[in-house]
Amino acid sequence: MSRSGQHGEPSTVTAVVRGQGELIGLLKAGGYDMDERTEDGRTGLHVAGMLGRAGSMRELIEAGAEVGAKDEEGKTMVHWAGEYGHVEVLKTVEEECGKETLRTLMVDKDKHGMTCAHWASEGGHLEVVRYAAETCGEEVLREKDEDGKTCAQYASAEGNLEVLRYVGETCGEEVLREKDNNGKTCAHWASEGGQLEVLRYAVETCGEEVLREKDFDGRTCAHWASLRGQLEVLRYVGETCGEELLREKDNDGWTCAHWASEGGQLEVLRYAVETCGEEVLREKAKHGRTCAHTASLRGHLEVVRYVVETCGEDVLREKDKHGKTCARWASLGGHLEVLRYVVETCGEDVLREKDKLRCLGLLYT
**Per-residue confidence in pLDDT tens, the chain, 365 aa:** 445 554 578 888 999 999 888 888 888 888 898 899 999 999 999 999 999 999 999 999 999 999 999 999 999 999 999 999 999 999 999 999 999 999 999 999 999 999 999 999 999 999 999 999 999 999 999 999 999 999 999 999 999 999 999 999 999 999 999 999 999 999 999 999 999 999 999 999 999 999 999 999 999 999 999 999 999 999 999 999 999 999 999 999 999 999 999 999 999 999 999 999 999 999 999 999 999 999 999 999 999 999 999 999 999 999 999 999 999 999 999 999 999 999 999 998 877 645 555 555 555 55
331: containing domain: 289-365
At 126, give phi and psi (nearest 5°): -60, -40
Residue 97 lies in a domain: yes
Instruction: Please tell me the predicted confidence (pLDDT) of residue 1.
Output: 46
Tell whether 212 and 301 lie within a shared domain.
no
Q: Would 123 be classed as within a structural domain?
A: no
pLDDT of residue 360: 55
Same domain, 216 and 294: no
Rounded Cα distance, 210 and 176, in Å: 9
DSSP letter at 3 equals -
82, 108, 134 - which closes a domain: 108
Rounded to whole angstroms, the Cα distance separating 339 from 359 reads: 8
290: phi then psi, degrees, rounded to nearest 5: -100, 180
The span from the CA of 197 to the CA of 166, in Å, is 15
Looking at the structure, tell me whether residues 256 and 191 fall in a common domain. yes
CA angle (313, 316, 317) in 5-degree steps? 100
20 burial (CB, 10 Å; 0-12 / 13-18 / 19+) is middle
Distances 127 to 23, 60, 79, 88, 133 between C-alpha atoms, Å: 30, 24, 14, 10, 10
272: domain CATH number is: 1.25.40.20
Same domain, 76 and 30: yes
Residue 318, classified by CB atoms within 10 Å of its CB into exposed (0-12), middle (13-18) or buried (19+), is middle
pLDDT at residue 181 in the model: 99
| DSSP line for 15-58 | HHHTT-GGGHHHHHHTT--TT---TTS--HHHHHHHHT-HHHHH
E-assigned strands of the chain?
Answer: none
CB within 8 Å of 149: residues ≥ 6 apart: 118, 180
Gap between the Cα atoms of 214 and 3, Å rounded: 56
Q: Within this chain, do residues 259 and 302 fall inside the same structural domain, yes or no?
A: no
- Per the rule left: phi > 0, alpha: psi between -120 and 50, beta: everything else, 138 is alpha
Please check whether residues 13 and 42 belong to one and the same domain: yes
Domain stop point among 108, 134, 159: 108
Name the domain count of the chain: 3
Which residue, among 62, 70, 54, has the nearest Cα to 27 in the 3D structure? Answer: 62
Rounded Cα distance, 194 and 207, in Å: 19
